[in-house]
Chains A and B, each alone.
Chain A
């Protein structure tokens, strides 16, 4: 059999029809995919395309599929779900795209439709509900878990578990996570519970409100402490609104937009009086800058969300823009910087944290190739897609320079993932948050003054 040119049948170019297979409210936004001309400039930026070489796992492929559902060519089903949920939501494609196509927004909207069409069942539902509904939005429960984890660490149980090999019966990626669990301290929201304002050291120049984060405050309260120290040292009164809650990023990533909206509304109200909302977790900051996206069908909240988002700022950018005291004490260390996706691609914050690190005397910065490549953490992606996350992490770790002592970054998810990378690949770098390093420099300076 041979195929002749005469066999080629022309078909009309596709047109968008009203045959959409998105049957629920808040569907992917036609205007977002209308920007995509399928040029392919996004391909190489995408970690999942790099690993699979398959275009349904590329940004333009995903956009094409999302559009195809609206055109009635395919259904919202398992096959569609796979590429949409395999996206890391790292936004590297947004940086690469010549036409600024909001791929991340489309993915999140599509996930919302998938979750409506195919609600989770069984084990996955239980796990998802436990984390997203019963745990993250409830600070008291998180604190309880934090308490248990602390007990686990301090009671010697961690040692026992590690020694007995109990970890070996856990799935590999969960066992890896246990190994890198940070040592927990008291959450700042508990610590400053009865304090309306944490006063600036010295003269007050600004007042800022602080999002402590849900998991952040339990797992990384030391970073929250460092953030407060750094802010107050630089003339900021810090307010921690007690009604604040989880930012909702993990929910929105998982397609649970209802819960995302609920949390967003609570935060918009909780921070109503704030002039500036400081965030030290890139993922949360990025989500909070995009709240309006959740309220496309609620004009009143859409307005409020826009006003709210305009006040949100990453701590490194805030310090950079408002000025900060250059530390005097030396921290002699070789360090490299990893761009958290939701800081670099999501918020365009790249140089500010690097400048802060460079301003610390004694710090020697070593360039990490592809520093803005995702580490594979991507919210809870490393729990839901361990295989892909592991492969992404492996290529990330290959880029970490050999001779550095620390890797600095601005996002807790990345910190856990990179710590896992260090552990898994036998490296020895310490993982630090940018403001932690600045705080240590200040503390060292104060310590030296004390000795004089």
Chain B
């Protein structure tokens, strides 16, 4: 609980406290330290203050104050992002939305729900499951990440292969623009509104265009049936080929996940082990869902594909408990790396599925070249790789080595026609890697869009795009200066 009394001479802190109240602002260094990074821990910066608004009006007043006074600011949810989107690189005022955590309404008839941005992803499914509904996007951090953050990052998840990522489930948004104006977009969830797709633009804008304060999401009816398969392979490329074969067979699994040997070592050493054999090279976790008729046939097709690809062992979950154990093991996979390595850096490249074997080989090479272990836990079905570079920040030089190895993995993805992020966002982590996939002109076209919403660039500056230097933005600045 906040301490009584502000104990500060800083006029901005005092004025911000007037908006949210003395107990809803943090400004002591010790408290601010807890906000110096998010799930991406390589770079740390102290915010100026952290404020906890309770409603949209307070957010708007905070934003107004910051923009009037030239204070950089940004929004933060649970701080589980993996690319540093919520890290206050400019000593921002952090606007934490975790106190705006209400489920405002559920409209079963039209299959939509309205939530505040601080509402935790999994709580939505938990709140509507008794009526037979759920919210599809399921990032592995869904136990604690907020839907506001999901919108900012356009979060994905294991089941996005079949159901799509966050943007496919957003029907309406209330947004506080960087000038303090409150706007509503999305026409109350009526699909296909005329005009530009602003919902699509805001979703995934990594908190650089506005602060989302209310979200209308699509909810889905629980599938009638669900089956989950676990397959162990002695050879990574057999596993990779099985992935392609399953999709080629015309099956659209709800989820198609892969883990390699190092990843398996991690999850088995951690809190939710399943008992996977340690000497396999890869495992696949495959889930199919839908109407009951046909599920068994899909499963038998999947089993056949695995057998054709020399699977060592393949099994179907016998009950919900077993299925839940397999998923807990997978979903806590990133955190589990803590059990085998003091630090990790997770990358998020996307590649065409058919290139899986060669890119995995390349990642293996990068691991050998850098001398750092790289674990792979990823959404194989949609070609979204998550190489986890394991390192120890206490050893001088290792952090830099890890960053370079991560970057090389993204280069490998870009080289085969893929891209640098599937669901974690660019943040500060992959700014430079944006050059792997965009030209200077393309980057400038995007910063021009940002200028429309966020002309002073006070909101979450330094994210998403490469720092100037070789970039067009510098040229623009020079041009402006010359004028």
Closest to A41 in B: B335
Give the residue name and chain of the A residue nearest to B466 (CB).
A5
Give bound CA distance, A36 to B39, whole Å. 11
Q: Is A15 an interface residue (CB 8 A)?
A: yes
Interface readout for B441-470 with A: 1 if CB under 8 Å, 0 if not? 000000000000000111001100111110
Whether A16 contacts B89 in the complex (CB less than 8 A), given A39-B141, A61-B34, comes out as no
Residues of the A chain whose Cβ atoms lie less than 8 Å from the Cβ of B191: none
Tell me whether B80 and A68 are in contact (CB under 8 A).
Answer: no
Q: Is B179 an interface residue (CB 8 A)?
A: no
The answer, yes or no, to whether A405 is at the interface (CB within 8 Å) is: no
Name the CB-closest residue of A to B52. Answer: A53
Contact with B along A38-65 (1 / 0, CB 8 A): 1111111000000111111010010011
Q: With A98-B335, A101-B338 in contact, is A15–B393 under 8 Å at CB?
A: yes
Given A41-B335, A73-B33, A51-B1 contact (CB < 8 Å): yes
B-contacting 9-mer, from A79-87, A119-127, A317-325, A444-452:
A79-87
| CB within 8 Å of A: which B29-65 residues | 29-31, 33-39, 41-45, 50, 52
Task: Note all chain B residues with C-beta closer than 8 A to A164.
Answer: none
Q: B269 to nearest A CB, angstroms?
A: 9
Question: In the complex the two chains form, is A40's CB within 8 Å of B43's CB?
Answer: no
Most buried by B among A3, A16, A65, A97: A3
Asked if A55 contacts B79 (CB within 8 A), the reply is yes
Write the chain B residue with the least CB distance to A63.
Answer: B34
- Given A6-B468, A39-B80, A53-B96: A80 touches B70 (CB 8 Å cut-off): no
B342 contacts partner chain A, Cβ-Cβ < 8 Å? yes
A11→B98 CA distance, assembly (Å): 28
Residue of B nearest to A31 (CB): B342
B143 touches A (CB below 8 Å): yes
Residues of A within 8 A of B343 (CB): 37
CB-CB under 8 A for A41 and B33, given A13-B399, A16-B394: no
Give the residues in chain A near B90, CB-CB below 8 Å: 3, 7-8
Chain B neighbourhood of A68, CB < 8 A: 33
Structural contact, A98 and B338, CB atoms closer than 8 A: yes
In the complex, the answer to whether B270 meets A98 with C-beta atoms within 8 Å is: yes
Give the docked Cα–Cα distance between A230 and B356 (Å). Answer: 61
Q: Is the CB of B1 within 8 A of A387?
A: yes
Q: How far is the CA of A86 from the CA of B31 in the complex (A)?
A: 13
Please measure, in the bound complex, the distance between the C-alpha atom of A74 and the C-alpha atom of B29, giving whole angstroms: 8
Contact A97 to B467, CB < 8 A, known contacts A13-B43, A14-B393, A37-B335: no
Interface size class of B (residues with CB under 8 A): 35 or more
Contact call B335/A54, Cβ cutoff below 8 A: no
* Cβ-defined contact, A43 with B144, below 8 A: yes
C-alpha gap A3/B66 in the complex (Å): 12
Are B396 and A15 touching (Cβ within 8 A)? yes
**In the assembly, what is the distance between CA of A172 and CA of B461, in Å?**
49
Query: Among residues 369 to 407 in chain B, which have CB atoms less than 8 Å away from a CB atom of chain A?
Result: 393-394, 396, 399-400
**What distance in Å separates the Cβ of B281 from its nearest Cβ neighbour in chain A?**
23
Q: Is there contact, CB below 8 Å, between B33 and A98?
A: no
A9-46 interface (Cβ within 8 A of B): 10-16, 34-44
Question: Residue A1 at the B interface, CB < 8 A?
Answer: yes
Q: Give the chain A neighbours of B28 by CB distance below 8 A.
A: 79
Cβ–Cβ contact A65 & B30, under 8 A: yes
> B464's closest neighbor in chain A, by CB?
A5
B72 CB–A CB distance under 8 Å = yes
Task: Find chain B residues with CB under 8 A from A80 CB.
Answer: 30
A74 in complex: contacting residue of B30, B39, B98, B118, CB < 8 Å? B30
**Is A5's CB under 8 angstroms from B462's CB?**
yes
Whether the pair A40, B78 counts as a contact (CB closer than 8 A) is yes
Residues of A within 8 A of B335 (CB): 37, 39, 41, 97-99
Nearest residue in B to A11 (C-beta to C-beta)? B43
A residues in contact (CB < 8 Å) with B: 1-8, 10-16, 34-44, 51-56, 58, 61, 64-65, 68, 73-74, 77, 79-80, 82-83, 86, 95-101, 387-388
Q: List 18 A-B contacts (CB under 8 A).
A: A3-B457, A5-B461, A6-B467, A6-B474, A8-B89, A13-B400, A14-B393, A34-B338, A34-B394, A35-B338, A37-B343, A41-B141, A52-B2, A56-B33, A64-B36, A79-B31, A83-B34, A98-B334
Q: Can you add 10 more A-B contacts, CB < 8 Å, to A5-B467, A39-B39, A39-B141?
A: A3-B90, A6-B467, A8-B461, A15-B396, A37-B337, A39-B334, A77-B30, A83-B34, A99-B337, A387-B1
Q: Closest 6 A-B residue pairs measured CB to CB? A: A99-B338, A98-B335, A98-B332, A79-B30, A1-B70, A61-B34
